[in-house]
Amino acid sequence: MNDTNAGTGGSRRDIRPARGKLGVLLVGLGAVSTTFIAGVESVRRGRSRPIGSLTQLNTIRLGKRTEERAPLIKDFVPLADLEDLVFGAWDPIPDDAYASAKLAGVLSHEDLEAVGDFLGTIRPMPAVFDKSYVKRLDGSNVKKGADKMELAEQLRADIRDFKAEHGCDRLVVVWAASTEIYLRPHDVHATLETFEEGLRAGHEAIAPSMVYAYAALQEGVPFANGAPNLTVDVPALTDLARARGLPVAGKDFKTGQTLMKTIIAPGLKARMLGLRGWFSTNILGNRDGAVLDDPQSFKTKEESKLGVLDYILQPDMYPDLYGDFYHKVRINYYPPRGDDKEGWDNIDIVGWMGYPMQIKIDFLCKDSILAAPIVLDLALFLDLAARAGLSGIQEWLSFYFKSPQVAEGLYPEHDLFIQHWKLKNTLRWLMGEEQITHLGMEYYGEQE
Ligand SMILES: NC(=O)c1ccc[n+]([C@@H]2O[C@H](COP(=O)([O-])OP(=O)(O)OC[C@H]3O[C@@H](n4cnc5c(N)ncnc54)[C@H](O)[C@@H]3O)[C@@H](O)[C@H]2O)c1
């Protein structure tokens, strides 16, 4: 046997080349979006390295280990070049990207000023915003319309105008706006017909984020959702994406504490170590923290964060080890910390003969520094997916999300390493290369 799976190396998919400009339209021009834009511009000016981005830095092994073929991902699949990215945004707060980045306080004065001229040119278009979905926010830069369909039409016009004005060949839209209140799936989300009726009737189960997703898809633009809101995770919109031949992905960027959880939990399970409890608490003081201080927005985030351990540890299959663990997630708004979040985890584990042990994690992270490369990778990979003719939910992008969207009837895969493997095997599959199985018996003289 081979440590690649020769049977699955197929023909290369037809992928349109990444020619011309790619417009990245960001919903929300806050800490994450401005850190992302500033970083890309800083890399383009040769001041920074794109650390944390797979599309820019990661290699991909091809064929057998002895072949020593490991190109950079960006040299293997045809991705848009950073030089070809142009940025636009919507936000109810009228600050340009420079003023917003300054307020967010993520970047040092030096880093901010080095790209300040560029950031100052990015001014947000008026948003589709309704305070009843994000209670702790006010803004004046807001669209007015008779109903939600009219607002969607205005967004569609923005998308067309942006594309024409900047001479873009292609666009992607990424939701990096505030977390909306918790909404359950509703009948109005069931089909495109019910959804469009709901838009015209101003149905309350249709949140602003859904209006953006609808507008993007109707304009032929892929959509990614970086927050835990339902947004594009409803049948009406995933069906629309498939019908229009457009890729979508979500939900909720996997950054600080949940990133750690999906790194450590698979390790505990791999070693068949038990779990009694996992207590996670955070303090953060940015605008995101202020929004999440509202119980209804926190509920959306909590749901997204809590699912992870159950899916990784599979309590039904391992009731002795994981049948009865206590899992708690808290987020506390604490203004002095700004974007410098601190996340503590206390993990009570169980070893041989039931002996208890503890793991403590204190992660002093920078939320937007972790999220920015995810925005970049999602924009580039969604654009690749669109050019490769992939449509609907892109489960291979689960790697980037706390609460990955999956096809109806499937449970989400949360294990970071499986997600990483799946992502790379998808790239190999796109390019007609063999899948890597890591079997490797041929190196020890076994028959292929
Ligand atoms: N930073 C991370 O590590 C991380 C991780 C996962 C998810 N997220 C999510 O990403 C989102 C952005 O985070 P952030 O730190 O940049 O927050 P932020 O508060 O700095 O920025 C969000 C921006 O969205 C704007 N906004 C709100 N509603 C809008 C609407 N309807 N249309 C357009 N703009 C709107 C707000 O005015 C604000 O400027 C949040 O939902 C957050 O939960 C962030």
Digit-coded pLDDT (tens) for 169-196: 999 999 999 999 888 999 999 999 999 9
For residues 448 and 443, give the distance between their C-alpha atoms in angstroms, rounded to a whole number: 10
* Angle, CA 308 vertex, CA 227 and CA 326 arms, to 5°: 125
Residue 447 reports pLDDT greater than 80: no
Beta strands 21-27 and 168-175, pairing class:
parallel
Closest residue to atom 31 of ligand 1, CA basis? 129
Residue 269 reports pLDDT greater than 90: yes
Residue 321 CA to ligand 1 centre (angstroms) = 37
Would you say 281 and 344 are in contact if contact means Cβ atoms under 8 Å apart? yes
Residue 385 CA to ligand 1 centre (angstroms) = 25
Closest residue to atom 29 of ligand 1, CA basis? 177
For residues 91 and 102, give the distance between their C-alpha atoms in angstroms, rounded to a whole number: 16
Lowest mean pLDDT among 2-16, 126-140, 164-178, 220-234: 2-16
The whole-number pLDDT of residue 2 equals 52
Residue 248 CA to ligand 1 centre (angstroms) = 19
Closest residue to atom 25 of ligand 1, CA basis? 28
Residue 21 CA to ligand 1 centre (angstroms) = 25
Residue 303 reports pLDDT greater than 90: no
Atom of ligand 1 nearest to the CA of 292: 43
Residue 135 CA to ligand 1 centre (angstroms) = 13
Residue 163 CA to ligand 1 centre (angstroms) = 23
pLDDT of 50-101, one tens digit each?
Answer: 999 999 999 999 998 899 999 999 999 999 999 999 999 999 999 999 999 9
For residues 363 and 284, give the distance between their C-alpha atoms in angstroms, rounded to a whole number: 12
The whole-number pLDDT of residue 216 equals 98
Structural domains present in the chain: 4-253+369-435 (3.40.50.720), 257-366 (3.30.360.10)
What average pLDDT is seen over the chain? 93
Residue 300 CA to ligand 1 centre (angstroms) = 13
- Site residues for ligand 1, CB cut-off 6 Å: 27-33, 90-93, 104, 127-129, 134, 137, 139, 176-179, 208, 226-227, 252-253, 255-256, 286-288, 291, 367-368, 370-371
One-character DSSP codes across 223-245: EEE-SSS-TT-SHHHHHHHHHTT
Atom of ligand 1 nearest to the CA of 370: 3
Atom of ligand 1 nearest to the CA of 368: 1
pLDDT of 34-43, one tens digit each?
Answer: 999 999 999 9
Q: Which of 107, 174, 178 to mutate to test the pocket of ligand 1 (most atoms within 8 A of CB)?
A: 178
Which one is predicted more confidently, 243 or 290? 243
Percent of the chain predicted with pLDDT > 70? 97
SS3 328: strand
| Inter-CA distances, 42 with 79, 93, 117, 147, 374, Å | 19, 24, 12, 41, 16
Closest residue to atom 30 of ligand 1, CA basis? 129
Closest residue to atom 18 of ligand 1, CA basis? 30
Residue 18 CA to ligand 1 centre (angstroms) = 29
pLDDT of 93-150, one tens digit each?
Answer: 999 999 999 999 999 999 999 999 999 999 999 999 998 888 888 889 999 999 999 9
Closest residue to atom 21 of ligand 1, CA basis? 30
Q: Which of 26, 29, 32 to mutate to test the pocket of ligand 1 (most atoms within 8 A of CB)?
A: 32
Nearest to 254 by CA among 263, 242, 246: 263
Instruction: Categorize the per-residue pLDDT at 265 as very low, low, confident or very high, splitting at 50, 70 and 90.
Output: very high
Residue 424 CA to ligand 1 centre (angstroms) = 29
Token duo for residue 444: 């020890």
| Residue written as token pair 């000023």 | 113
Residue 386 CA to ligand 1 centre (angstroms) = 25
Atom of ligand 1 nearest to the CA of 341: 3
Residue 95 CA to ligand 1 centre (angstroms) = 14
What pTM does this model have?
0.94
Return contacts of 313-318, CB within 8 angstroms, 24+ apart. 313/265, 313/268, 313/269, 313/275, 314/269, 318/269, 318/272
Would you say 174 and 224 are in contact if contact means Cβ atoms under 8 Å apart? yes
CA atoms within 13 A on the CB side of 417: 8
Total Cβ atoms within 10 A of residue 102: 18
For residues 374 and 370, give the distance between their C-alpha atoms in angstroms, rounded to a whole number: 7
Residue 12 CA to ligand 1 centre (angstroms) = 38
Atom of ligand 1 nearest to the CA of 35: 16
Nearest to 213 by CA among 254, 172, 182: 172
Please return the burial class of 293, using the count of CB atoms within 10 Å of its CB with bins 0-12, 13-18 and 19+: middle
For residues 174 and 27, give the distance between their C-alpha atoms in angstroms, rounded to a whole number: 6
Q: Which of 26, 258, 284, 288 to mutate to test the pocket of ligand 1 (most atoms within 8 A of CB)?
A: 288
Closest residue to atom 2 of ligand 1, CA basis? 367
For residues 339 and 351, give the distance between their C-alpha atoms in angstroms, rounded to a whole number: 37
Task: Give 275's contacts (C-beta < 8 A, 6+ positions apart).
Answer: 265, 268, 309, 313, 321, 322, 325, 347, 348, 349, 350
Mean per-residue pLDDT for 221-242? Answer: 96
